[in-house]
Structure 1
Amino acid sequence: MAVLSSGPIENNPVNGSRPTTQVLVKVINTSAASSATVLIQGYFLNGTRNLYVLEQVNVGANQVVTRNYFANLNAFEFVFTTSGTAAEDTQVSMWGRNAAGQLNTSHRLVSEEHLGAE
C-alpha cells in the first residue's frame, strides 16, 4: 500500500479566472495479471481541510482509469491510497485543466512527483 499526496495546491484567480477549474486524474495499472484499488480523496483548503471528493476506483490488469473532479477552488489537495496485489504496479498522475479544458502544466503531478512516492 502506498499513500501519495499532491500536497496543497494554490489556485487563486489570475485576471479574474482560476488557472485550474477541473482536476484530471489518470490511474494506470501496469500489472499483466493483478488488480489494484485506489482511494481518491480531494480536499478543499480554506483554513481547514474539507473532504469534497471520496471515490474508490478498482483498476484491472493493464487498465487505465480516468476521472475528472471539480477544482474551481482557491486551494486544494488530493491524496491517493493504492492497495491490492498490484499496488506496486499502479501509477497515478494528476493534471489541472482550465475553463477551456486545456491542461495547466503548473498543476501537473506525475507518480514520481507525489509526496510520499518512493
Structure 2
Amino acid sequence: MPSITTGNLINIPIQGDRPYVQVIVKVINNNTSSGLCYLKGLVNNGSQQAPFAEDLFFLDTEEIITRTYDVGYDHFQINAIYSTLGLEIALYGVDAGGLYTPIDMEEVNISRVTSEIRSVNSITQVDNYAVISFRKNLSFTNPYGVAASVYVEGLDILTRNPARYTLIQGGNIDGNFIQYPTPTTQIPAEETALEVNTTCSVVTNGRVVTQGTLTGIAGAFTKTSVNLMEEGVMCYLEDGTNLTLVIDSLMEDIDVVVTLRMLEQW
C-alpha cells in the first residue's frame, strides 16, 4: 500500500508570521473502485512526536474529500497511506494573508514487515488467551526524521481445535515486552520500532479491532491466514498502545501456533 509524507516542515515565525497557519488536504479518488486513505499529522517539536490530526477516509469513485488543519507549530509533518494507486493527495499551505502554496509529498519505502511467532500447547485456559502482543518502542530513533508508522498487516494460525480469534487494541496485559532480536526473529533493534510480548496470557479491557473463527481437526493442524489490510482493516498502532492477538478454544484446551505480522513504514 503506497505511503507518502511531507517530511519535516519548518514553520518557524519570520518577522512574526509563520509560513503556514493552516494546511488544506484534498484526497481525490480517480480509480474505478472505492478506496481507503489514512492521514496523520505530527508535531515534531521536542524529542517525541505528537499527533495533531488523524483521519481515515473511505472514498467512492470520483469522490473528493477536503480537510483543513491549523498548524501553529515550529516543526510538523503529514503522513498518508492509501489502498489504491488511483487515489491522489494534494496539500496546500496557507499563510496569514490567505496565500496558498503547494506542499510536495514523497513516497516512503516500506522498511519491513515485522513478525513474531509463538506456540501454545495443551493450555487449559481456553477463554481469552493472549498469545502475542506488540507495542511501539518509544526510544526508537526514526530514520530520516520521519515518523515510524506501524499497522497490523495480518496473521497466521495453526490449530488442532476449532477456535476463535480476537485482535484487541489497548487494554492492560501481563507478561513482558522485549526488544528485537528475539530467539525466533533476528531483527536488529535499530531496524524496528516494535517491541513484542510472547510471555502474556491475559489482556483486560481494550478495543476489539476484528474477530474470526478457525476450523480444527483432532490430531492434525489446519491453517488459517488473514491479510487484514486486504480486508480493509487499517489499524494504526499508537505510541504506547498494545495490539494483542487473543485465542479462545471451543474445546477443552488450546493447542495453536500463531504468527502476527506488523507493517512498518518511515
TM-score band, normalised by shorter chain: 0.7 to 0.9
Describe the SS at the equivalent of 1:79.
strand
Answer yes or no: is the 8 Å Cα contact 1:38–1:81 preserved in 2. Answer: yes
Aligned 1:25-64 pairs, distance under 5 A: 25-32=25-32, 34-47=33-46, 48-64=48-64
Give the Cα separation in 1 of the matches to 2:99 and 2:58: 27
Answer yes or no: is the 8 Å Cα contact 2:9–2:77 preserved in 1. Answer: yes
How far does the alpha carbon of each residue in 1:14-54 deviate from its partner, in whole angstroms, 9 at most, with x for none? Answer: 1101010100111111113x111111100011122111111
Answer yes or no: is the 8 Å Cα contact 1:27–1:64 preserved in 2. Answer: yes
Q: CA deviation at 1:2?
A: 1.2
Q: From 93, 96, 106, give the equivalent of 1:96.
A: 93
Which sections of structure 2, spanning at least 5 residues, go unmatched?
Answer: 110-266
Which one scores higher on RCO, CA 8 angstroms, separation ≥ 6?
Answer: 1
Q: From 104, 108, 116, give the equivalent of 1:116.
A: 108
Q: CA deviation at 1:115?
A: 3.3
Give the Cα separation in 1 of the matches to 2:107 and 2:8: 10
Answer yes or no: is the 8 Å Cα contact 2:11–2:19 preserved in 1. Answer: yes
Residue identity over aligned pairs, in percent, reads 25
TM-score (norm: length of structure 1): 0.84
Describe the SS at the equivalent of 2:43.
strand
Larger-Rg structure: 2
> RMSD between aligned alpha carbons?
1.4
Which sections of structure 1, spanning at least 5 residues, go unmatched?
Answer: none
1:73 paired residue number:
73
How many residues get paired? 108
Give the Cα separation in 2 of the matches to 1:62 and 1:104: 24
2:22 equivalent to 1:22: yes
Paired AA for residue 116 in structure 1: V
Displaced runs of 4 or more, over 6 A: none
